[in-house]
Structure 1
Amino acid sequence: MSRTRPMPALACDAHMHVYDAGFAHAGTLAGAATAHDYQHHFQKRVGTRRTVVVTPRPYGVDNAVTLDAIRKLGLAHTRGVAVLHPDVSDAELARLHAGGIRGVRFTLYTAARAAVGFDMVEPLAQRIQALGWHVQLHWTADQIVAHASLLRRLPSRIVFDHLGRLPMPQGTAHPAFAIVRGLLERGRTWMKLSGPYLDSRVADYADVATVARAWIAAAPERLVWGSDWPHVTETHDKPDDIRLAEALSDWVEDDATYQKVLVTTPAELYGFEPLHNNHKETKMMHSSHLGGLR
């Protein structure tokens, strides 16, 4: 049974995508999902305030749609993760940083239409280290095992997508769990508690809940939460955003860890202002009704 726990002030959705037909793209978009749509149909409903926009696959290495979404949602409360090639210029990296980009994503769980490759991970990690950016990895669990030595020598921060994509029913018994846990314990690595529907085999994500709780037990200070809105992988039965937020509330037992996952840790990872610097807005959000799930 799900429990409803109010979203804390300045809660962060650390993983979502914008699809805007106003920007060139390759392939077919699964319907429009603009920054305006997100603000009015997700944030107002779920109660989050901060956001991390991740450039989705159809746009390749063109991050204009992400930069535009950051501007529209507000740089004070929005960051982005880009898709890049290692030959990106220093000037372009500086422009992206000024626009709110704080990481580079490698979506390699399937080779179809991949804009990047495994050979690009280390060169880009070296390029972005001085900026304090991270590499964000959407890999299968088997890929994590196959590239464990690469992961251990990367100089930059590392963020794993979607609970590490541990397959069910193997879950934490998969060798990738121990590899990622070791990286979390060493520091400079984070896990996104996002996309439970990607590997779950049951309607309420109860099987994946075991994986989520294992990550929480292993490294509660190195976790962020993401909605994966607008759920383009789910073409027939879209997840309910409220249920996804409630799943996090189910996984996290104590309020202190809940605050870390939604506010403290994303503020540190993405460079948001600390909570104590936002007294005025915190008071305003507590006085509104946007902070509770409904």
Structure 2
Amino acid sequence: MEKKTCLAPIRNTKIPKYKTMKNACDAHCHVFGPREIFPYSQKASYWPPDTSEEQLRKMHDTIGIQRAVLVQASCHGTDNSAMLDAISKNPARYKGVCIADGSFTKEDFKYLDDNGVKGVRFNFVQHLGGAPDLIMMEEVIKKVIPLGWHLVIHVNAEDIITYADFFEKFDLPIIVDHMGRVPTNKGVEQKAYQILCEFMKKPNWWVKISGAERIAVSPPFYDAIVYAQGLVAIASDRILWGTDCPHPNIKEHMPNDADLLDLFPLMVPDLKLQKQILVDNPARLYGWEN
């Protein structure tokens, strides 16, 4: 079966205007391949261009990021080997979030935990295959709770509405990718964004103010700023920021990661909150020492 390919990221990262602080963290990024060593899943809906740990680190060094969370993407399926290999190259710098299914044992999760993985991710978005088996998802969550892990959910706006009651069943920390992918052209009054804001009033809910290039109408993505500001105003102590580099499945307007970082101080003008979101929050969630 022929796989959908993705645009390659912009490798020539600019120098951002915004200057980060010590231990700043990109809480959502990916490594892909190399395909010859870590082949892509035959079940994946897309096969992206390879992005190595070295390429990712070069980008991070350019924009002033010292820590990163490597999030398993669906192109590698439940084979977390590429992500684990990248973490092993600098365990002090990287933590991970895996993808798993019902075949994973408690021993498998313990191995992942020992090697820097601190959360499990489930995709609900249609272009990546749609919602997982919910019974299987619950069984996986039961296995990772004793490890102190968190749940990452990758949803579209309509999924927030459809699965709101299901998500509320869980007491572990729940992290929503990319501001719930709520489209900015539907306004802040849209039902999905309002539900997300209500979720953020609960002490176990977190959100990543990432994915501006996914929810905004077009560059320079300023229409995403007010959505991030609204979430930060509710719970600044449960907000993460990330690049989403290398931006899989972006069809046009591939962003330069420096431009995405320069959006951050517009989303979060307060210097104290900037440090909280870039340094303190990810350190608390992932177990880094500042």
Identify whether the pair has TM-score above 0.5, normalized to the shorter chain.
yes
Could you tell me which residue of structure 2 aligns to residue 12 of structure 1?
A: 25
Q: How many Å separate the matches in 2 of 1:80 and 1:114? A: 23
Secondary structure of 1:121's aligned partner: helix
Q: How many Å separate the matches in 2 of 1:130 and 1:182? A: 27
Q: Contact 1:191–1:224 (CA<8 Å) still a contact in 2?
A: yes
Shift of 1:164: 1.4
Q: How many Å separate the matches in 2 of 1:243 and 1:76? A: 27
Could you tell me which residue of structure 2 aligns to residue 102 of structure 1?
A: 118
Change (3 A) 1:201 1:122: same
* 1:105-116 to 2 correspondences below 5 Å: 105-110=121-126, 112-113=128-129, 116=132
Q: Tell me, which stretches of 5 or more residues in structure 1 are unaligned?
A: 276-294
Q: How many Å separate the matches in 2 of 1:159 and 1:15? A: 11
- Identity of paired residues, percent? 28
* 1:29-178 to 2 correspondences below 5 Å: 29-40=47-58, 42-72=59-89, 74-110=90-126, 112-113=128-129, 116-178=132-194
The answer to whether the aligner puts 1:266 opposite 2:282 as a matched pair is yes
User: 80-89 vs 257-266, which deviates more?
Assistant: 80-89
RMSD of the alignment, in Å? 1.7
Q: Contact 1:108–1:117 (CA<8 Å) still a contact in 2?
A: no
The letter for the 2-side match of 1:150 is F
Q: How many Å separate the matches in 2 of 1:253 and 1:149? A: 34
Q: How many Å separate the matches in 1 of 2:219 and 2:128? A: 27
Of Structure 1 and Structure 2, which has the larger fraction of its residues in helix? 1
Q: How many Å separate the matches in 1 of 2:38 and 2:131? A: 17
Q: How many Å separate the matches in 2 of 1:112 and 1:264? A: 32
Shift of 1:16: 0.5
Shift of 1:173: 1.3
Q: Indicate which of 25, 30, 40 corresponds to 1:25.
A: 40
Q: Tell me, which stretches of 5 or more residues in structure 2 are unaligned?
A: 1-15
Q: Contact 1:161–1:192 (CA<8 Å) still a contact in 2?
A: yes
Could you tell me which residue of structure 2 aligns to residue 202 of structure 1?
A: 218
Secondary structure of 1:92's aligned partner: helix
Q: Contact 1:57–1:114 (CA<8 Å) still a contact in 2?
A: no
Q: TM-score, normalised by structure 1?
A: 0.87
Q: Contact 1:125–1:155 (CA<8 Å) still a contact in 2?
A: no
Q: How many residues align?
A: 270
Q: Contact 1:53–1:81 (CA<8 Å) still a contact in 2?
A: yes
Secondary structure of 2:184's aligned partner: coil
Secondary structure of 1:14's aligned partner: strand
Q: TM-score, normalised by structure 2?
A: 0.88
Q: Contact 2:145–2:172 (CA<8 Å) still a contact in 1?
A: yes
The letter for the 2-side match of 1:203 is P
Q: Contact 2:171–2:204 (CA<8 Å) still a contact in 1?
A: no
